Homo-oligomer: A and B are copies of this chain.
Amino acid sequence: MAELKEACGVFGIYDLEGGNVVPAVYYGLTALQHRGQESCGLAVSNTKGEAGNIQFHKDLGLVSEVLRRETLEKMSGDLGIGHVRYSTTGASVAENAQPLVLSYIKGTLALAHNGNLINTKELKWELIQNGAVFHTTTDSEVIAFHIARERVHSDSVEEAVLKTARKLKGAYGLVIMSPRKLIGVRDPYGLKPLCIGKRDHTYVLASESCALNSVGAEFVRDVEPGEMVIISREGIRSNRELAGEKTAHCVFEYIYFARLDSVLDGVGIYDARIRGGKSLARSYPVEADLVTGVPDSGIPAAKGYSEESGIPFGLAFYKNSYIGRTFIKPTQKERESSVHMKLSVLESAVKGKRIVLVDDSIVRGTTIANLIHMLKKAGAREVHVRISSPPFLHPCYFGTDVPSNDQLIASIHSTEEICRMIGADSLGYMKLEYLEGMAGGLPLCRACFDGNYPMEIR
């Protein structure tokens, strides 16, 4: 039950044979909805029509709310991009929804961005000094403006994108659409994911492989860290000029963000979480009758803990899936907690049992404390908490919305204190040294746990 928020998901598609890609963008964004529930949008271009005639629609809301049948039926194009967003920078207003659609010297440009830059201020200042005017408060507009500026002295849009990318510091997975090209760029560290898929003559770019599957495309490969791919009528080309030696993939994609059925940079998310659970079992063994996970985020690691320990895996909670964003939370006076409405204990599954309860992280600690209390009230004899990530101790500058230190229980209290505060019989956090193994040996950015940022933060 992670309370962290992911920034965004991006999607791009180009049907070289001219088929309409609007439905595919819709299905791709639906598959990426878990990466952002605040706003969404899509932009499409007809590459055989008049250049620059981009149609777009975006607004606050879920994909199913913003992209209604009536809206989609009016749009058509063989080249399109889409975006789902949770705001980490920029206010939560309709104006900040993406894709950004802009016109500039060379026609039109649409851009969707996942991630967070750390030199936005400098980049913006450079533009502002020259009289640039901003409509939004997003990093994405800064990137788009630099591309437009560079385009004046460039031979092609990809050259302008490349020149711009050289200046960007931070995390980004970008999909960019010029009237007749689809471009994808990934930051040199590979902090944010981006992959390539193909279906017949159609190329797809997406934050996660699950979105490829949703449109029937085969996974081709990940965009490499620092790589730019250009998809045009001639097919796909690649530029790796920005690639560096060091890569650092965001560890939290493997712990929580990415969808269970995705494969990012060669590592299956389900496998990673199973491995995470197994390592927890090795680090913190305990005698127990049942291993269970907090729905839904703790379930796979619980399964891994079970596999390693031999303790049976099972359910302990029922989750009411009808409690959505409009749910009216009970007041104190009404005696119920929101957690009670969302999750209820399966009493006979836990009664008299010693339970290992696995979750992906602890932020404030209130939710897990509630769940432990519920389990004990239902008759659980012991509740041993295992967390499939180390304690959060440092801010993330790359797009993950880690709360500030004073709200992080781990930055104030020791593990023993937290264990007592949440009412657990024992508590074990994933050890730092096992993170890389969990993520299949990939080089990781795990700065939120150890403070070692892959690049200098000023």
Report A's interface with B, CB cutoff 8 A: 23-24, 26-27, 30-31, 33-34, 37, 62-65, 68-69, 72, 100-105, 109, 128-135, 137, 144-145, 148-152, 210, 213-216, 259-261, 268, 270-271, 274, 299-300, 303, 306-307, 312-315, 318, 320-324, 326-328, 330-331, 334-336, 340-341, 344-349
Given contacts A105-B128, A213-B344, 17 further A-B contacts (CB under 8 A): A23-B334, A27-B336, A30-B320, A30-B341, A33-B320, A33-B322, A64-B327, A101-B135, A102-B135, A103-B133, A103-B134, A103-B137, A213-B340, A260-B315, A261-B318, A270-B346, A321-B321
Report the separation of the CA atoms of residues A63 and B328 in the bound assembly, to the nearest whole angstrom. Answer: 11
**Would B268 and A347 count as touching, CB distance under 8 A?**
yes
Report the separation of the CA atoms of residues A317 and B94 in the bound assembly, to the nearest whole angstrom. Answer: 34
- 4 closest Cβ pairs, A-B complex: A131-B149, A133-B148, A33-B322, A261-B318
Report the separation of the CA atoms of residues A347 and B219 in the bound assembly, to the nearest whole angstrom. Answer: 13
Report the separation of the CA atoms of residues A107 and B59 in the bound assembly, to the nearest whole angstrom. Answer: 26
Q: Which residues of B contact A259 (CB under 8 A)?
A: 318
Specify the chain B residue showing the minimal Cβ separation from A106. Answer: B128
Report the separation of the CA atoms of residues A312 and B335 in the bound assembly, to the nearest whole angstrom. Answer: 39
**Would B326 and A64 count as touching, CB distance under 8 A?**
yes
Specify the chain B residue showing the minimal Cβ separation from A334. Answer: B23
Copies of this chain? 4
Q: Which residues of B contact A63 (CB under 8 A)?
A: 322
Q: Which residues of B contact A346 (CB under 8 A)?
A: 260-261, 270
Report the separation of the CA atoms of residues A270 and B345 in the bound assembly, to the nearest whole angstrom. Answer: 10
Report the separation of the CA atoms of residues A330 and B31 in the bound assembly, to the nearest whole angstrom. Answer: 13
**Would B128 and A270 count as touching, CB distance under 8 A?**
no
**Would A348 and B270 count as touching, CB distance under 8 A?**
yes
Say whether, besides A313-B313, A341-B27, A348-B270, A131 and B145 are in contact (CB < 8 Å). yes
Report the separation of the CA atoms of residues A327 and B69 in the bound assembly, to the nearest whole angstrom. Answer: 9
Give the Cβ gap from A45 to chain B, nearest Cβ, in Å: 16
**Would A34 and B322 count as touching, CB distance under 8 A?**
yes
**Would B261 and A344 count as touching, CB distance under 8 A?**
yes
Pairs A–B under 8 Å by Cβ, sample size 15: A23-B328, A31-B320, A64-B324, A64-B326, A69-B328, A103-B137, A104-B131, A133-B144, A133-B148, A213-B344, A216-B334, A261-B346, A270-B349, A300-B315, A303-B315
Q: Which of B72, B214, B321, B322 contacts A340 (CB 8 A)?
A: B214
Report the separation of the CA atoms of residues A225 and B102 in the bound assembly, to the nearest whole angstrom. Answer: 34
